[in-house]
Amino acid sequence: MPRTSSKKGSTGSAASTNPAADLFRSASSKAASKELERIDQLFHTYASSSSGMIDPEGIEFLCSDLEVEHTDVRILMLAWKMQSEKQGYFSLNEWRKGLKALRADTVQKLKKALPELEKEVRRPSNFVDFYSYAFQYCLTEEKQKSIDIESICLLLDLVLGSQFRPQVDALIQYLRMQVDYKVINMDQWMGFFRFVNEVNLQFTLSILLITLFVSSSYMSNLVFVQQISFPDLSNYDSTLAWPLILDNFVELMREKQG
């Protein structure tokens, strides 16, 4: 008969646990449990008792404690880190996911984590995903596939404005003046990102005083506009499957140059 009993005994002896390792694992488990408990407590500080989620009002309170505006791009970055599915709402599981990754179980730690979170998002390997997420996060209705022009303009400014200010300003100006498109879809949204990254737009900005209205009783506001010239649009090739809205935008800019 096979001598299985002696082998089992030998295996059991060899696999005997290390007391120090057991103690370390136990301490780590307890620390993780305590951290999760504090994360949960922080969640319930801002969560609505009726919905069981942090709702827009709760996010306002959170922003106040973090000393940031609710329109700060880092709040959108925080939503990305949590992979929040519903705009303006954080579930307990989403909150846990984000704060555990940030190692933040207090408001103070979360506040200190925001600059590092921004650096993480700004890395090229992450930013494309964040940019795509920003669009999806703004789809608030079931089966919604597109976003209205004004909301897109605000989102472009929030997500890309700090990196590509001249290009974003020009795009926003065009989007608000054109009449062919009422909404923007994901393909067009991603095209905007490709555009500001790949097209060599050298902007010359100058502020011109247009007019000074004077009436018999008062002087009205000064009106300013930006004149934007594009010295080089040569590397924009309309045959490379750009969204048509960008072809139209570039055509208009070239007409202005001519």
Last-in-domain residue among 71, 99, 122: 122
Residues 141 and 253 in one domain: yes
Residues 166-179: tens digit of each pLDDT: 889 999 999 999 99
Cα–Cα distance for residue pair 35/24, rounded to 1 Å:
16
Residues 206 and 93 in one domain: no
Say which amino acid occupies 255: E
Q: Mean pLDDT of all residues in the chain? A: 82
Answer yes or no: is 11 within a domain: no
Residues 111-134: tens digit of each pLDDT: 999 999 999 999 999 999 999 999
Cα–Cα distance for residue pair 206/192, rounded to 1 Å:
24
Residue 210 has pLDDT above 50, yes or no: no
What lies within 8 Å, CB to CB, of 97 at 6+ separation is 81, 82, 83
103: left (phi over 0), alpha (psi -120 to 50) or beta: left
CATH number at residue 190: 1.10.238.200
What lies within 8 Å, CB to CB, of 130 at 6+ separation is 77, 80, 121, 159
Residues 55 and 117 in one domain: yes
Cα–Cα distance for residue pair 176/90, rounded to 1 Å:
32
- Quickly tell me which residue has 């989007």 as its tokens: 175
Residues 248 and 148 in one domain: yes
Residues 183 and 148 in one domain: yes
Cα–Cα distance for residue pair 96/85, rounded to 1 Å:
14
pLDDT score, position 200: 57
Cα–Cα distance for residue pair 228/29, rounded to 1 Å:
59
- On whether the CB atoms of residues 36 and 96 are closer than 8 A, the answer is yes
**% of the chain residues with pLDDT over 70:** 74
Structural domains of the chain, count: 2
Residues 48 and 104 in one domain: yes
Of 6-10, 180-184, 203-207, 230-234, the range with the lowest mean pLDDT is: 203-207
Cα–Cα distance for residue pair 107/226, rounded to 1 Å:
42
Residues 153 and 230 in one domain: yes
| Strands 204-211, 146-148: pairing kind | unpaired
| Reported confidence tier of residue 222, pLDDT bands at 50, 70, 90 | very low
Global pTM value: 0.77
